[in-house]
Amino acid sequence: MADTSEEQQTKTKTAIWYDPTFRAIAFQVLAGIAIVWFFWYIFDNTLTNMEKRGITTGFGFLDNPAGFGILMSLIEYDETYSYGRTFFVGLLNTLLVSVLGVIFATTLGFLLGVARLSNNWLLAKVATIYVEVLRNIPLLLQIFFWYFAILLKNLPSPRQSMNLNDSVFLNARGLYGPAPVPTDGFFAVWIAFGLGVAAAVYVVRWAKKRQDEQGIQFPAYRSAMGLVIGLPLLVFFAMGMPMTLDYPALKGFNFQGGMRVIPELMALTWALSLYTASFIAEIVRAGIQGVTHGQTEAARAMGLRNGPTLRLVVIPQAMRIIIPPLTSQYLNLVKNSSLATAIGYPDLVAVFMGTTLNQTGQAVEVVGMTMAVYLTISLLISSFMNWYNKKMALVER
């Protein structure tokens, strides 16, 4: 009895700030409070001072009509839509050029990376020269080069358009082509496409399972492609081609109707892809060279030919080295797409942080929203690539 009470006494006698657990928690709470207070202070002070100086604040401006036109929009837009809508128009344009850039840059980068290691002397040297030239010239200059020096200097005016079969036209205003307009019965093609995808997934799984169990190979990917593309085509013709084409036609200054790709999009996608591809090529080369030569020799000893050695042995191991730096390149590409503003491609920075910011004057809100968007896109890409990386990582068996 006495012991315990004495113990309790010594416990209470020890000052609480000597308790390591308490101290750890207390300091973290204090640090947390300091950080929250700091940001609150900045936020509140900015607001107070802007109010004092008669600068309008708040997000109410997003509902006001924008009143200006935008060159290209993936969603419906005209002058009567709101500033909030311009945000989404710009965002989608940014995403479009980023996705296109990532696809082209990855494809080209992988081809170049493999080409640099090729036994073909000419191919390897051409790839080396490409990489060294493209990655050592500032991206902005490359964008200007493709846009002003190549596209605009060489493309003719609309009246002298390059003409292919009276349906595809190329001029300084863009690339015009016929737009498909589905008519009654087109939904059957969509259904066939859905079925084709489902069947392809099944075939691939079945083939993998059979190969694992019995070792019999089946051209699974080729037949899957056949299912995804062939089945809808078959239905399309069986239904008597339920689609008309809307051809572009020269009316007044420009072509009207049809589909159109603006030269700004072409130049920007082109420049971003070529530039990023040079970095991806180096990453791929490093990844492949990072796989020890013993792996290749072992594969050869087992009788694998060149192609399967690369596809089945080297690349899967190289991917583990490639993916983390590849993620950084994707992030760079997305952020570099904001250089669009220099050549008039209406991306988020050009439309929202450009025209909208200037017309409303609400710098803090607009810049904040734009930064938040880039942060979100980048974090999404990062988490996707981290997931993919985990999936590709070495699985101990």
Partner 1 sequence: MKRTLTIATGIAAAAMFASSAFAGTLEDVKKRGVLSCGVSQGLPGFSQPDDKNNWAGIDVDVCRAVAAAVLGDANKVSFKPLTAKERFTALQSGEIDMLSRNTTWTHTRDTSLGLNFAGVNYYDGQGFLVQKALGVKSALELDGASVCIQAGTTTELNLADYFTLNGMKYSSVVFDSSDQTREGFESGRCDILTSDQSQLYAIRSKMSDPSSAAVLPEVISKEPLGPVVRQGDDVWFNIVKWTLYAQVNAEEMGVTSANAADMKSSKNPNVQRLLGTSGDAGAKLGLGEDWAYNAITQVGNYGEMFDRNVGPDTPLAISRGLNALWSKGGLQYAPPVR
Site for partner 1 in 301-340 (CB under 8 A): 338-339
One residue of 11, 13, 53, 222 binding partner 1 per CB under 8 A: 53
CB count in 10 Å sphere of residue 127: 22
One residue of 89, 155, 268, 334 binding partner 1 per CB under 8 A: 155
DSSP β-ladder status, 168-171 and 254-256: unpaired
Tokens standing for 88?
Answer: 């989404």
C-alpha to C-alpha distances, 285 to 124, 157, 309, 382, nearest whole angstrom: 11, 43, 16, 22
What is the rounded CA–CA span in Å between residue 191 and residue 194?
5
CA torsion through residues 192, 194, 197, 198, sign: negative
* 359 lines the binding site for partner 1 (CB under 8 A): yes
* 58 lines the binding site for partner 1 (CB under 8 A): no
What's the DSSP call for residue 291? S
Phi and psi torsions of 59, nearest 5° = -100, 10
* 350 lines the binding site for partner 1 (CB under 8 A): yes
- CB-CB contact of 118 with 124 (8 Å): yes
Site for partner 1 in 203-232 (CB under 8 A): none
Candidates 16-24, 25-33, 221-229, 346-354: pick the segment binding partner 1 (CB under 8 A). 346-354
Site for partner 1 in 102-121 (CB under 8 A): none
* 238 lines the binding site for partner 1 (CB under 8 A): no
CA torsion through residues 147, 150, 153, 157, sign: negative
Whose Cβ is closer to partner 1: residue 282's or residue 347's? 347
* 290 lines the binding site for partner 1 (CB under 8 A): no
What's the min distance (Å) between Cβ of 105 and partner 1?
Answer: 22
* 145 lines the binding site for partner 1 (CB under 8 A): no
Whose Cβ is closer to partner 1: residue 52's or residue 222's? 52
What's the DSSP call for residue 222? H
Cβ neighbourhood burial of 334 (10 Å; 0-12, 13-18, 19+): buried
Site for partner 1 in 65-104 (CB under 8 A): 67-71, 79
What's the min distance (Å) between Cβ of 346 and partner 1?
Answer: 7
Tokens standing for 71?
Answer: 């060159």
One residue of 349, 369, 373, 381 binding partner 1 per CB under 8 A: 349
What is the rounded CA–CA span in Å between residue 119 and residue 273?
26
Phi-psi region for residue 174, left (φ > 0), alpha (ψ -120 to 50) or beta?
Answer: left
H/E element holding 162? strand 162-164
Whose Cβ is closer to partner 1: residue 236's or residue 255's? 255
Tokens standing for 105?
Answer: 């840059």
One residue of 253, 372, 384, 391 binding partner 1 per CB under 8 A: 253
Candidates 6-14, 240-248, 268-276, 354-362: pick the segment binding partner 1 (CB under 8 A). 354-362
Whose Cβ is closer to partner 1: residue 138's or residue 219's? 138
Candidates 26-34, 149-157, 285-293, 312-320: pick the segment binding partner 1 (CB under 8 A). 149-157
Q: Which residues bind partner 1 (CB under 8 A)?
A: 42, 45-46, 49-50, 52-56, 67-71, 79, 148, 152-153, 155-157, 172-173, 251-254, 256, 263-264, 338-339, 341-344, 346, 349-351, 353-355, 357-361, 363-364, 367
